[in-house]
Structure 1
Amino acid sequence: MGRRAGHRSPNRPAGTRARQPARPAERALRRAGDTRRSRLRRRRAGHDDDSRSREPEAVTGRLRAYVVDDEPGALKQVVQSLKSTGRVDVVGTATCAETALVEVPTRDVEALFLDIHMPGMSGFELLERMRTSALVVFVTAHDEHALRAFEAAAIDYLLKPVKRERLERTLDRLESRRGDPGASVQAVLEKLARHYPRAPAYAERISLDLGQQRTQLVEVAKISHFLAQGKGTVAVTASGSHLVDRALGELEERLDPRQFVRIHRSAIVNLAWVAEVQPELGGRLTVKLKDGPRTELQVARDRARAFRERMVL
């Protein structure tokens, strides 16, 4: 017998309706809603499946490269060649070694493309002073001596102008050597020491701090003398005194001893700027310079004899 209108089941509270079976379309909508809510929860928790396809570039295999070359034209050509491969992200460039020395350790660089012959500081000298785990590729014009050394030591290099085929092979090697201790900067330097003995290369130019985050490269020949100041040094030129972010002892090693002499624990003088040497009591000497104010510097007693010999006095 059919149920009369208004009749309710004794087990169902008043004012409620009997639950009807879900239709297929409704069930599909519920499942879709559950899936969306599940994805939202996973996304908030950082487990979204779609995120796997949006990995950062460092995971996709692109090499993070930094290029150093004092010739703007050559620098541009190397950068364009690297970008054209689609395998490299160029994260920085520099036209002088001093800039690279500061920037490379802060850029998470994986591959350093480095010119050899640069004024002030060569590519080899830059590597000796730099702290980086980057793989090194030397970029150079035709240099028979260097190329023979690179071949013997199995060091990566590129010839200017960079050719696409050679660059692709170099990138293949770099990608295969990621994390290889034998490819570290220290390992490269050790190989160079065995296969490419070099005469000491002294600085031809030095970076001076002009203030307000400005620097200037000045030929060392234009510097009359250096004076120690705290942990740094002051370089004196005809235009004034400028800070150098290096200790006096470090500068002494970088300067040609045939031109610069340490006359005191706090002073180095450029012999080309010496106008007069005057003996003093106690075996000391006073050096008078050719600069505008006719600067006078004291030569320490324990350095006077060596200084006299250098001046052929």
Structure 2
Amino acid sequence: MTSQPSERLRVLVVDDEAPARQRIVDLLKKDAQIEAVLEAGDGLAAVEAIEREALDLVFLDVQMPELDGLGVIEAIGAERMPLTIFVTAYDQHAIRAFEANALDYLLKPFSDERLEAAVCRAKTRHLERNMQALGMGMLRMVAAAGPSGRSIDRLVVKSAGVTRFLRVVEIDWIEAAGVYANLHVGGKEILYRASLNELAESLDAMRFIRVHRSAIVNIDSILELHSMSHGEFELVLKDGHRSRVSRTYRAELEKRLGQSL
């Protein structure tokens, strides 16, 4: 049975300065939604804790000896990191921090209110992740329990505090967006927190076809097919988007269409 993910957070605070670390720890321990607060005094200890513990959120000092905060991200891998809030006294690190998919950025000295706002943002994102994971888990469970070949017909999408059950037939095409996917629906983009490969396994193969390693299209959205060099083609979709059909996926498209291209 699929269990409900916990809404309480396990947090790691990483800072080589004990007083700065203690201040964040003390404030976090007052929050009833924080299940546990762990500490690390340097980047190497942070890497060990992240790999060992099931963490939801990391407060990560950018500038530390031996291995700095960005080095921690590199060692773990951005896609495997818990939600991350960078903490530093140097604002020149902000751009690199957000390039590393930071949830927020606290510039020392910061107020208690600013810290609380960052934690609130983390709680919201954590809940969104849990909702997405629960939705995908339930859909996979239904698909596995159903008749052979059954596929999902709804996606659970949460944005700005609103949960939407999106009918997959409304999707025109899907593109990879790092470890997530962008759904293109009626000219709008919706970030969906699942990989393109996960979606490819769950969607109806009679309607959605992989045309490139980074793109899936709804066959009903294809308007034209243009021949290119080296056996490749370009699809023109109803929304005007053009997507290349690589040779790797050409046979799959031909099989679905029932004819050679």
- TM-score for both structures, normalised by structure 1: 0.37
Structure having the higher strand fraction is 2
- Structure ID, larger Rg: 1
Task: Return the structure number with greater relative CO, CA threshold 8 A, min gap 6.
Answer: 2
